[in-house]
């Protein structure tokens, strides 16, 4: 006796708006026989008006669901729409949520869902990017971080009339910014993120279960999908959602890069492996046998050249995961025979006064502090 989910995108809309769901006509007809002709006319028009009103109200919402029990003559029990209970099987993220098709990584690159994932990514890409885009920025964000994502949108001018905050100008075709978000076991949270993705149009939903120690799966899959997009962009920047990018400083730098510079950022050297199992950054002997890591690009901001992504994704699919994404991805790049490019302007910094020449600034997670830091950076940009 399961439930059946019906969506407003179905062509046969009127098939499931049935008066029989509300009335048993065999019981109603004997009563109608005692009514006068005039009363019958009034009643018919009243029912017609009521049906029209219901149809118009429902049609006013592009995405909604009618949940009915397994019985064909059972009444409609619920109409759900909006951010707290978002259903639409025709919308890819919602389809993944309802069908529970999200999984732990890595995601097989030949999976039957890949084509649908590419189409979903294409719809997000085309809403935010252009054929002439030079740099695609994608932000790794946790499902719960609604406020941080909205704060970024406000800074970019996406949901605000103040479109100059980030770059002293309106959003241009030179760069675009997207979010990458996975799934959790919390269906309600998944639906809220689905609604955000649908209404904001800048979220790529990757059908992987969110896990800090498996973030590399999410990054590689997002890179793989973005590389399927048409466009002239040669570089993709991955950042965390507590990082602010100085696009006006970064773009001139990117234009001078050579084809051999394929993976760029703050390269850390001689860092010891954390061997305390209780530590957030613990890595076992099995995951990484050496006591000291080989040089790696710190994960808060990583710049990838497009021409390595397919090989990177293929190598990832057959490599044991190191549960620190920056160490794992740097390991993959080295294994493919490429060098890491150290760029001091990518060095970690969280004080705008000391970060004037940096490409990225850590603005933290507190919204009030973020706004102050962004305002400070903007003031500095206006004065130059």
Is residue 304 situated within a structural domain? yes
Which domain covers residue 144, as residue numbers? 112-159+172-347
CB-based contacts of 287, cutoff 8 Å, min separation 6: 320, 321, 322, 323
pLDDT on residue 172:
55
pLDDT on residue 355:
87
Is residue 106 situated within a structural domain? no
Is residue 55 situated within a structural domain? no
Is residue 360 situated within a structural domain? no
Cα 173 to Cα 135, 136, 177, 230, 324: the distances in Å are 9, 10, 11, 14, 34
β-strand 235-240 against 301-305: which pairing, if any?
A: antiparallel
Q: Omega of the bond prior to 19 within 30 degrees of 0, cis? A: no
Sites in the chain below the pLDDT cut of 50: 1-29, 32, 54-80, 160-171
The label of the residue with tokens 């935010």 reads 128
**Distance separating the N- and C-terminal Cα atoms of the chain:** 67
pLDDT on residue 53:
55
CB-based contacts of 346, cutoff 8 Å, min separation 6: 264, 265, 266, 298, 301, 303, 358, 359, 360
pLDDT on residue 14:
33
pLDDT on residue 50:
66
pLDDT on residue 158:
72
How many CB atoms within 10 Å of residue 179?
25
Is residue 27 situated within a structural domain? no
Cα Rg of the chain (Å, integer): 26
Is residue 79 situated within a structural domain? no
Is residue 73 situated within a structural domain? no
The label of the residue with tokens 């970064």 reads 250
Is residue 4 situated within a structural domain? no
CATH number of the domain encompassing residue 250: 3.90.550
Counting the structural domains of the chain, the total is 1
pLDDT on residue 116:
97
Task: Supply φ then ψ for residue 282, to 5 degrees.
Answer: -65, 135
């Amino acid at each position: 006796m399961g439930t059946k989910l019906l969506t407003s995108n179905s062509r046969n809309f009127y098939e499931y708006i049935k008066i029989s769901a509300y009335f048993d006509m065999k019981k109603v007809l004997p009563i109608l026989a005692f009514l006068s002709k005039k009363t019958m006319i009034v009643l018919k028009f009243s029912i017609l008006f009521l049906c029209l009103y219901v149809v118009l109200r429902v049609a006013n919402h592009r995405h909604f669901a009618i949940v009915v029990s397994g019985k064909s003559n059972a009444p409609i029990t619920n109409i759900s729409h909006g951010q707290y209970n978002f259903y639409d099987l025709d919308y890819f993220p919602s389809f993944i949520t309802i069908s529970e098709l999200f999984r732990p990584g890595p995601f097989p690159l030949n999976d039957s869902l890949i084509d649908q994932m590419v189409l979903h990514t294409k719809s997000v890409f085309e809403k935010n990017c252009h054929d002439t885009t030079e740099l695609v920025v994608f932000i790794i964000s946790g499902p719960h971080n609604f406020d941080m994502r909205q704060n970024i949108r406000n800074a970019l001018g996406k949901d605000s009339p103040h479109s100059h905050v980030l770059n002293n100008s309106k959003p241009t075709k030179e760069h675009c910014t997207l979010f990458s978000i996975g799934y959790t076991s919390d269906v309600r949270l998944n639906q809220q993120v689905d609604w955000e993705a649908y209404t904001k149009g800048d979220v790529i939903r990757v059908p992987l279960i969110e896990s800090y120690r498996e973030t590399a799966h999410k990054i590689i899959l997002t890179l793989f999908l973005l590389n399927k997009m048409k466009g002239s962009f040669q570089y993709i920047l991955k950042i965390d959602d507590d990082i602010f990018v100085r696009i006006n400083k970064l773009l001139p730098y990117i234009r001078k890069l050579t084809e051999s510079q394929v993976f760029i950022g703050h390269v850390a050297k001689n860092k010891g492996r954390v061997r305390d199992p209780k530590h957030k950054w613990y890595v076992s002997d099995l995951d990484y046998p050496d006591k000291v890591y080989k040089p790696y690009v710190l994960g808060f901001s990583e710049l990838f050249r497009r021409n390595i992504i397919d090989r990177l994704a293929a190598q990832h699919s057959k490599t044991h995961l190191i549960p620190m994404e920056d160490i794992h991805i740097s390991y993959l790049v080295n294994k493919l025979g490429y060098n890491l490019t150290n760029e001091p302007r990518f060095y970690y910094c969280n004080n705008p006064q000391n970060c004037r020449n940096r490409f990225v600034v850590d603005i933290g997670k507190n919204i009030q502090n973020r706004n102050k830091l962004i305002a400070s950076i903007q003031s500095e940009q206006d004065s130059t």
